[in-house]
Amino acid sequence: MAEVNLRKVVKRYDDVEAVRGIDLDIADHEFVVLVGPSGCGKSTTLRMIAGLEDITDGDIMIGGDVVNDVPPKDRDIAMVFQNYALYPHMTVAENMSFGLRLKRYPKAEIKARIDEAARMLDIVELIDRKPKQLSGGQRQRVAMGRAIVRNPKVFLFDEPLSNLDAKLRVQMRIEIKKVHQKVRTTTVYVTHDQVEAMTLADRVVVMNKGRIEQIGTPNDLYHKPATRFVAAFIGSPAMNFLPCRLEEAAGRLHVRLTEQIAFPLPSDRAARYRNANPGQQLLLGLRPEHITEAKPHAEPGIEPFDATLDVTEPMGMETLIYFNLAGKQVCGRVNPNAPARDGQPLRLAVDLNNMHLLNEATGAVI
């Protein structure tokens, strides 16, 4: 068990800078997820922690020791790969015990550890099978078992669920969380799936173009994104961004979307945005769940408006609506019982208590 620290870590391939000087502190027992689009440097970062890639510059520390030049086998880490990487000629038990056998652990100890891990992962009856006799989900369990029996300082997961179908992915996500609750090993987990990141992580690290955009708890990232990239990346359906300006009217600060549509800001928001440059081109960020059908009674910060729906998508527990606002397609979420029909008008309301205001030029959240 150990903490992991990255100090100004850089990875350069010839002329391409894949990782551009990132700093990251992962506490003991913490489950940290690196998430971002493909090519953002998340896998490279993980592989540098594993020692599978050399680092060009900076320091990586595991348990307080700089491991820049320590080979993977001496870093006391275990890794689970996207394609499982099980040894095809070995049984499940042999796969799991390979590392322990190399280190010449006593037989009894190896057996005890395999039994424990197999029970934890519910693969006891598969222990004598070869990988090709297993399903994808079972293979991934074995790969996790191989990591667990080593009892390493750090678990590294490289998109472990990407090869599984949607249903199995949800199931294995829960399994991974359960395993972490039991073994409490420091974990670094890489995924491009923001749902996986949100559901698994103690803290999420959002990466983009080789840099860290934001580090925070799943709730922080969702409710207080620091940049437009994070705001757009986290959450599904994604946040709506509408071009807008701030203006004073009738003594209140308004956010103006079009000539016709301007919403007065609630008082706390108005205080926060008071210092923003009034003529500046801004973006109003609104999550779909903050655009709902209008309620009969007025509430502070909830502002009604009329829209004609283009498309509705009934999801069962909610209905997603798409309509045009200020020249942009906007997504909202309404109650399944609301009278939302394709091509029909509907009175909607925006919840400005949960709005975000972004600088269009820099992408920074104000």
Partner 1 sequence: MSSFAIDKAGPGRKVKFGSMSRDRVWALRWSYFFLTLFAIIALLPPIYMLITSLKSSAEISAATNPWWVFHPTLSNYHELLTSNQFLRFFGNSAAISIAVVAITMAISIPAAFALSRMKFWGSATLATGVFLTYLIPDSLLFIPLFKMFALFGDWTGIQLINRWYVLIFIYPTLTVPFCTWIMIGYFASIPKELDEAAIIDGASWFQTLTRIFIPVALPGLIAATIFAFTVSWAQFLYPLVFTTSTDQLVLPVGIITTLIKGDVFNWGQIMTGALLGAAPPLVIYAFLMDYYIAGLTAGATKG
What are the residues binding partner 1 (CB under 8 A)? 50-52, 71-73, 77-79, 81-89, 98-99, 102-103, 130-134, 136, 139, 146, 150, 163
Whichever of 77 and 338 has its CB closer to partner 1, that residue is 77
- Shortest Å distance, C-beta 96 to partner 1: 10
Whichever of 133 and 362 has its CB closer to partner 1, that residue is 133
Whichever of 137 and 332 has its CB closer to partner 1, that residue is 137
CB atoms within 10 A of CB 1: 13
Q: Under a CB-based contact definition with an 8 Å cutoff, are residues 312 and 320 in contact?
A: yes
- Shortest Å distance, C-beta 24 to partner 1: 20
Nearest to 307 by CA among 290, 321, 289: 321
User: Is the preceding peptide bond at 237 cis, omega within 30 degrees of 0?
Assistant: yes
- Shortest Å distance, C-beta 85 to partner 1: 4
Whichever of 52 and 276 has its CB closer to partner 1, that residue is 52
Query: Distance (Å, rounded) from C-alpha 157 to C-alpha 192?
Result: 12
- Shortest Å distance, C-beta 149 to partner 1: 10
Whichever of 150 and 356 has its CB closer to partner 1, that residue is 150
- Shortest Å distance, C-beta 192 to partner 1: 17
Q: Under a CB-based contact definition with an 8 Å cutoff, are residues 19 and 11 in contact?
A: yes
Contacts with 247 (C-beta within 8 Å, 6 or more apart), sequence order: 253, 254, 256, 262, 278
Whichever of 70 and 366 has its CB closer to partner 1, that residue is 70
- Shortest Å distance, C-beta 142 to partner 1: 10
254 conformational bin, left if phi > 0, alpha if psi -120 to 50, beta if neither:
beta
